[in-house]
Amino acid sequence: MEFKHKPVLLKECIEGLNIKPDGVYVDGTIGGAGHSLEIVKRLSKKGLLIGIDRDEEALKAAKEKLKDFDNVKYIHGNHDDINRLLLDEGIERKPDGILLDLGVSSYQLDEKERGFSYIENARLDMRMDKTQKLDAEYVINNYSEEELFKIISEYGEERFAKNIARNICKKRKESKIETTSELVNIIRESIPKSKQNDGHPAKRTFQAIRIEVNNELKPLYNTVIESGKMLNEGGRLVIITFHSLEDRAVKEAYIELEGRCTCPKDLPYCVCNYTSYGKILTKKPILPTKEEQEENSRSKSAKLRIFERRQKKE
């Protein structure tokens, strides 16, 4: 299958990065290179684009799409390790911009063998990096009922998480749960029919299992902090999220990077000596236009936030 992924908030991301022709830019989730293509088009021969992805098929597709550009470096790895990955590759120049598109690619969703979709029947997998061992089948068949409940309720924000976790454990005692259709049927049976009107009933649970398999949330806050700190002066950190848990982590990390005075309000001047690494440029997240949402349904839940690294005073 061709690696297709329509980049979300493309114009807004490019404007947010404020690209300098000779700068260094990191696309930490290069995917099908939709955003990266527009970044590298704006770079001179002195500029450098670094594309990172945990999905080897994504990197292969990105190399093909960007084959006409020789100032691109590709790294198989996780965006949670950006600083280490760049050091391991001997890249000493600080990034002038980092882009993180935290969504699952259209290719990963549409390729049914990957097991991300609750529409197509496939083996339970959901790994973004197919070289890792942990997959959805292991989670569903080996996590305790309490662990499953916590994951589905927290990561999926699913009201009926207790029913779903209990029925998963009941079903797997009879036989191993191996396919997405089996899991979907369990979820359908766990949610009252009268409550199955708000989209597909398995959507939240599949999101939760995917987040657990790929460890998408636990390191995110620290990833944002580390990325903001490693930027060059005036550099931009541009992040697209697709659900409230991701957006909350990014928002809180940006607030931490910007810094806040913790002194009592009645003090005439600041004594807490808080550190500010820059400023938040988006007090409210940027949302897709109505036109984009109509053209690309997967953009509907997207939110874009931008942070700018502080420049040293002259």
The domain spans of the chain are 10-102+217-309, 112-212
Residue 207 in tokens:
């999101």
Side chain identity at residue 107, one-letter code: Y
Second-level CATH architecture of 10-102+217-309: 3-Layer(aba) Sandwich (3.40)
User: Of 221, 10, 282, 242, nearest to 104 (Cα)?
Assistant: 242
User: pTM of the entire structure?
Assistant: 0.90
Pairwise CA distance, residues 101 & 195, whole Å? 31
pLDDT in tens, 218-243: 999 999 999 999 999 999 999 999 99
User: Of 205, 121, 113, nearest to 167 (Cα)?
Assistant: 205
Instruction: Check residue 156 and report its DSSP letter.
Output: S
Pairwise CA distance, residues 35 & 155, whole Å? 27
pLDDT in tens, 248-280: 999 999 999 999 888 888 888 888 888 899 999
Residue 113 makes CB contacts below 8 A (sequence gap 6+) with 122, 123, 125
Which CATH superfamily, name and number, covers 112-212? Putative methyltransferase TM0872, insert domain (1.10.150.170)
H or E stretch including 100?
A: strand 97-101
Does residue 284 surpass a pLDDT of 50?
A: yes
Residue 252 in tokens:
């809180």
pLDDT in tens, 44-82: 999 999 999 999 999 999 999 999 999 999 999 999 999
Burial class for 46, CB neighbours closer than 10 Å (0-12, 13-18, 19+) = exposed
pLDDT in tens, 143-179: 999 999 999 999 999 999 999 999 999 999 999 999 9
